[in-house]
Amino acid sequence: MRDACLLNCIIPPHIMMKLLEAKDRSIREAALNTLLASVHVRTARALAPGLLAAVNSTGTKRRTIFDAKRNLTPFGELVRGEGGPASPDQAVNDAYDGIGLTYDFYLEEFNRNSLDGNGMRLDAVVHYGDRVNNAFFDGTRMLFGDGDGARFINLTKSPDVIAHELTHGVTRFTAGLDYHKQSGALNESVSDVFGSLVKQWAQNQDAQSADWLIGDGIFTPAISGDALRSLKAPGTAYNNPLFGEDPQPDHMSKFVPLPDTQAGDNGGVHINSGIPNHVFFLLAIAIGGKAWDIPGHIWYDTLVNRVGEFAQFEDFAKATYEGAGSLYGTAEQSAVRDAWSKVGIEIDFGASLRASKDSPKSRKGGARVDTESLAELHARLDRLAKRVDEIAKKLP
C-alpha cells in the first residue's frame, strides 16, 4: 500500500525539496522514500529497453524458427534452433538458411553483427496464417506466409525477400527511416537494395550479370511476371490482367503522390522506392564489379552514419555523395552524382557542405546509440545518487 502510494504520488521537485528539509522527521523520511522510489522506477524504465536488447543479444549468430501452424499469431512452436538438425519442413529450412545468409553477408561485408550490430537473436515464424501472401517484419521478428498457391508460393523461397525483411531490422537500429512518404520509400529502397545484394553475394555475381529483381520466382507459374520489383527497370517487374502494371517510377518526373494512409501505402513507400532503387542500380553499373563492394559500402555508410529518420531523397543523395568522397574519392563521388541526376535529383553542393556539418546524426549504429544513452544515463544516476546520499547524511 505504501509502495503504491509512493509510486503514484507526483510531487513537484520544489515541493519535494521543501519536504526533505521539513522539521518533522517522518515527513523527511517519507519524502526521501518517495525520492528513492522515484529513482528506482525511473531507472527501471530507462534501463528496460537496453536490458531487453542485452537479453535478446547473443553476441553471435542465433537463429530460432517457430511454426505458427497457420494461425495469425506471431508466436508458435519452436521447430529449429541454431545448429539444430534440418527439419522435414522445407519452409523451416528455407527461413533458417535465408536468415543465415543475410546474417553472414552483413557480418562479412560490413562487420555488422546481426540487426542491432550487437548479436541480436534472429527469430522467424513460418506458416503464418492460412495461405497468406505476405512476409513482414513485426519489429522484432520475421513472419512468413505460405502463399495461396494461386498467386504466390511460399515466401520463404525467396532469399532476397528474407534479406529485405531483415534489412528493415537493420534500418530500425540505424537511420530509423520514418515509414511515410519519401523517408518511407527510402526505408523500402534500402531493404530492396540490400535484399538484392544478399542474393548477388550468395551467387558471387557482378553488377552486370545480376538480375536486380526482388522476389523473382515468388509468383506461381500461373502468374506472368518476373518479380515484385525491379531495380534495373522499375515499372517492368510485372504486367498482367490480375495485378495490372508495375506502378514503380524510375524518375522523379514520374513520382507517384499517394495519401499518407494505410490504403495509400503510407504515401507510396513501396511505389516511389523505385526511384532510389534505380539510382543504386545505375551507380553499381557505372562503378562495375561487385555491387556490394563500393556502392554497397556507400549505401551502408549512409544508412548507419549519415541520415536521420526523416531524410528525404535529396538528403539521402547528398549523404551518399559525401560518403562516397569520404570513403573513396572524386571518381566515386561523380558516379554517385550522375546516378542521382539521371533520376532527376540534382545534388545541391552548397547545401551538401552545410549538411556535412549540420546533418542529423542522432541515430547512428544501434550499439553506439545504446552505449551513448546508457553512459548518459549512468552519469545522471551517479549525480542523482550522490544527491540522495548527501540528503541522507543530513538526516538526523
Partner 1 sequence: MHVQLTITGGIAPPLTGESASINTADLPQEEAREVQSLVARALQEEPPPLDPRARDAYAYELRIDTGDQVHSIQAFDGGIPPAIGELIQCVRRLAR
User: What residues make contact with partner 1 under the rule CB under 8 A?
Assistant: 70-74, 129-140, 143, 151-152, 155, 161, 164-165, 168, 172, 179, 187, 191, 215, 228-229, 238, 243-244, 262-263, 265, 270
**Closer of 131 and 254 to partner 1 (Cβ):** 131
Grid coordinates in use for 140?
A: 522484432
**Closer of 190 and 355 to partner 1 (Cβ):** 190
We find the least distance from the C-beta atom of residue 124 to partner 1, in angstroms, to be 13
We find the least distance from the C-beta atom of residue 74 to partner 1, in angstroms, to be 5
We find the least distance from the C-beta atom of residue 386 to partner 1, in angstroms, to be 36
**Closer of 7 and 72 to partner 1 (Cβ):** 72
Query: Which residues does residue 124 pair with via DSSP β-bridges, in sequence order?
Result: 65, 142
- Is-catalytic flag, 270? yes
Distance (Å, whole) CA 268 – CA 272: 6
Q: Are 118 and 89 in contact (CB under 8 A)?
A: no
Q: Are 164 and 192 in contact (CB under 8 A)?
A: yes
We find the least distance from the C-beta atom of residue 244 to partner 1, in angstroms, to be 8
Element holding 355 (H helix, E strand): helix 349-358
Query: DSSP states of 3-20 as a string?
Result: HHHHHH----HHHHHHHH
Query: Which residues does residue 135 pair with via DSSP β-bridges, in sequence order?
Result: 144
- Is-catalytic flag, 322? no
In order of 14, 75, 153, 228, 349, the CA distances from 148 in angstroms are 63, 21, 7, 16, 50
Q: Which residue in 109, 165, 188, 314 is the catalytic one? A: 165
| Cβ count near 338 (within 10 Å) | 13
Catalytic residue numbers read 165, 270
